[in-house]
Amino acid sequence: MTNQEIYELMARFDQSGLTTLKVTRKDFSLELGKGAAVGAPAAPVPAAVAAAPVAELVEEGTCITAPLVGTFYAAPAPGADPYVKPGQKVRQGDVLCLVEAMKTMNEIKAPCDCVVEAVLAQDGELVSFGQNLIRYREG
């Protein structure tokens, strides 16, 4: 399968009502899951988090989301300064972060001239398709 075919399959799976999907070919296997981690028991939710109102758990504002599943990188190299910091003004097309998937670094760029309000993902964190990465406001 090509990377594009995998990304399309992941997007369709995400939009479907399925909770698990396994694709196996001669030398390739892909297993996707939603909700609790596949093959791992669900962790108990702390009472404070379970009782929190939903509005507190949702990030406010306009966000740049992960276009694919992968590892989030805030900087171009280990130990380097991050691409962006909260309060920084960026121009349309500026690189904001990287998402690595299948050994390919995918640049995530600013969709417009804007001000970065918050970087929501942690450097080196595995991010999901559609997960909020950076919150911004136009300007």
CATH no. for residue 123?
Answer: 2.40.50.100
**Residue 43: inside a domain:** no
Asked whether residue 42 is domain-assigned, the answer is no
pTM of the prediction? 0.57
C-beta separation of 73 from 51 below 8 A: no
Say what the pLDDT of residue 74 is: 94
- Give me the number of domains the chain comprises: 2
Q: Which of 92, 96, 98, 90 is nearest to 68 (CA)?
A: 98
Give the SS3 label for residue 90: strand
Predicted local distance difference test score (pLDDT) of residue 49 = 41
Is 101 within a domain?
Answer: yes
68 and 134 both lie in a single domain: yes
Range of the domain at 85: 59-139
| Mean local confidence (pLDDT), 95-99 | 94
The answer to whether residue 51 sits within a structural domain is no
Query: Per residue in 41-87, pLDDT tens?
Result: 555 544 444 443 433 334 456 899 999 999 999 999 989 999 999 99
Q: Same domain for 21 and 80?
A: no
